[in-house]
Chains A and B, each alone.
Chain A
Amino acid sequence: MKKIFSEFLKGIFKENPTFVLALGLCPTLAVSVSLANGVGMGIAATFVLLGSNIIIALIKNFIPDRVRIPCYIVVIATFVTITELTMKAYSPALNRALGIYVPLIVVNCIVLGRAEAYASKNSVVDSLFDGLGMGAGFILALLLISGIREFLGAGKLFNHTVFKGFEPAFVLGMPSGALLVIGLLLGFFNILKNRKL
C-alpha cells in the first residue's frame, strides 16, 4: 500500500513530468492560454497515459523486444483516437480550442516515455498508479502555467474577471508569453532544488 502511494506521489513532485523531467512541453505551452483549455488537455492526456500504461503492462511479455516501440505507439494511438472521438461528441468547443494538439497527444513524450521507462518493466497495479501520478503532475503543471498566463494575460481565472481596472499584459497570452513563463518557472524550480541540497 505504501509503495503504491509513493508511486502516485513521485509523479506529482519528485518526477514531475513538466518541471523535472521536462517532457511533453509542446502541448503544455500551446494550450495553456486559459485554465479551461489547460485542464481539458490535462485530463485527456491523463486518460491516454492511464489506458496505455495498463495495456502495455498487461501485454509486455508478449511484445518482441525489437518492435516494442511501434507496438506502444499503436496502443497509445488507439487511446488517443478514443479521446478524440469522445471529445468531438461531448465537448466540441474544447475540441475546437485544442485543435491539432489532441491528435498530437500520440507524440507526447510523457506517454511514450512512461510506457518505455515504467510500464514495460512493472506490474499492472504499479503502472496504473504511475500513470495516475504522472497525469496528476501534468494537470498540476498545466494549472500552474495556464493560471499564470490567464491571470496576467487576460485578467481572468476560468473565464471570470478577477479584478476590475487591471490592465492585462497581452503578451502572456501569446506564444512568446508561454515560453517566458516556462523559462522563468524552470529557473525558479532550479533555485528551490539547489537550496534543498
Chain B
Amino acid sequence: MNLAYFLTIFISAVFLNNVILSRFLGLCSFIAISKETKPALAMSLAVMFVTTMSSVITWFIYRFLLIPFNLTYLRTISFILVIATFVQLVEMIIRKISPPLYRFFGIYLPLITVNCAVLGVAVLNSDMFFVNGKVLPGSFIYSVFQGICVGLGYTLAMLLMSGIRERLDLCDVPKAVKDFPLAFIIASIMSLSFLGFTGFSR
C-alpha cells in the first residue's frame, strides 16, 4: 500500500476517467436530474454513499464467496442482486429513522439500483484489484477508496452541469435543441475540457 497509488486512483476516478464524462456511467440520471442544483446534490450524495457501500459489500462477496468456490462467472448476477437489495434496505432504514432525509432523497434512491455507475464501480474494482483470481495486497482499501472517488467524480460533474443548466433557463436557445440535446452538447464541451487533465497520471 503506498500513498502515490491513492493519488493515482483519486485523479483517475475524479478527473481522467470521470464516471459520467468519459466512462458514460450513470448518464441517464445525469441528464434527467441536473436541471436544478438542489436535487442534483441530493442525487450525488445518494450515489456517493451507495457506490462506497457497494464497493465494500461486493469486495467481501468476491473475495470470500466467488473466488474460493470458483464462481467468478456469477459475478454479474450476484453483484446486481446485492446492490438492489442493499438499496432497498437503505431506503427502508432512512424512511424509518429520518423522514426529512427520506424526503430529501427518497425518490432518487430506487433509481440508483439501475444506475450503471454503481454496478460499474463494483465490476471495475473486481477487474482492477483481482488479477486472475488472485487478490492484490491492499485491494480492500483501494476498492473502497475507488468507490468514494467515483462518487466524488459524479458529484463534481453533476454540480457543474446543474449550475450551467440553471443559468440556461434564462437564455434563448433554439427550439430544436432545448433541454436534452443541449444538455448533451454541454456535457460534450465539459468532457473536452476534462481532457486537459490527461497526462496527470504519470
Query: Interface of A with B (CB < 8 Å)?
Result: 22-23, 25-27, 29-30, 69-70, 73-74, 77-78, 80-81, 84-85, 100, 103-104, 106-109, 112, 171, 174-180, 182-184, 186-188, 190-191, 194
Contact = CB atoms under 8 A, between A and B. Distances in A.
Given A74-B81, A77-B76, A100-B124, A191 B24 contact: no
Indicate the size class of the contact surface on chain B: 35 or more
Given A176-B188, A186-B180, A190-B181, A103 B76 contact: yes
Interface string B165-194: 000000000111100111111011111100
B77 interface: yes
Given A25-B24, A26-B24, A29-B27, A186 B84 contact: no
Given A73-B84, A84-B76, A109-B114, A186 B181 contact: yes
B176 A194 contact: yes
A188 B181 CA distance: 9
Contact of A103 (B114, B115, B123): B123
Contacts of B24: 25-27, 29-30, 175, 178
Contacts, number: 124
A104 B123 contact: yes
B139 interface: no
A182 B181 CA distance: 7
B80 to A, nearest CB: 5
Contacts of B26: 26
Contact of A180 (B120, B127, B185): B185
Interface string B1-33: 000000000000000000001111111100100
Contacts of B27: 25-26, 29
Given A25-B24, A103-B119, A186-B181, A77 B195 contact: no
**6 closest residue pairs by CB, A with B:** A183-B184, A179-B188, A176-B191, A183-B185, A187-B181, A180-B188
Interface of B: 21-28, 31, 73-77, 79-81, 84-85, 113-116, 119-120, 123-124, 127, 174-177, 180-185, 187-192, 195
A183 B123 contact: no
Contacts of B21: 175-176, 179
B114 A107 contact: yes
14 contacts: A22-B28, A70-B81, A74-B77, A103-B79, A106-B76, A107-B114, A107-B116, A176-B188, A179-B185, A180-B185, A180-B188, A187-B181, A187-B182, A190-B176
Could you say which of B28, B31, B189 has the most chain A C-beta atoms within 10 Å of its C-beta?
B28
A126 to B, nearest CB: 24
Given A26-B28, A81-B73, A179-B191, A187 B80 contact: no
A178 to B, nearest CB: 7
Contacts of A74: 77, 81
Contact of A194 (B22, B124, B175): B175
A81 B123 CA distance: 13
A191 B175 CA distance: 9
A139 B58 CA distance: 32
Nearest to A180: B188
B29 to A, nearest CB: 10
Given A77-B80, A188-B176, 18 more contacts: A26-B116, A29-B24, A69-B84, A73-B80, A77-B76, A81-B73, A81-B74, A103-B75, A103-B119, A104-B116, A106-B119, A108-B116, A175-B24, A176-B191, A176-B192, A177-B188, A179-B188, A190-B176
Contacts of A182: 184
Contacts of B124: 100
